[in-house]
Amino acid sequence: MRVQRLSEELGIDRRTLARWRKWWLETFAGPFRPTAMAAFMPPLDLTGVPAALLDRFAGDLAEKLICLLRFLGPLTGGAATRRAF
List the beta strands (DSSP E) in the chain: none
Q: How many domains does the chain have?
A: 1
Chain segment 34-83, per-residue pLDDT in tens: 877 788 888 887 778 888 888 999 999 889 888 988 888 877 665 544 44
**What local confidence, expressed as pLDDT, does residue 81 receive?**
45
**What local confidence, expressed as pLDDT, does residue 85 receive?**
44
Full residue range of the structural domain in which residue 27 is found: 2-82
User: pTM of the prediction?
Assistant: 0.63
**What local confidence, expressed as pLDDT, does residue 59 receive?**
93
Terminal Cα-to-Cα distance of the chain (whole angstroms): 34
The CA distance from 85 to 29, in Å, is 25
Chain segment 3-40, per-residue pLDDT in tens: 788 778 778 888 988 888 888 888 877 777 787 778 88
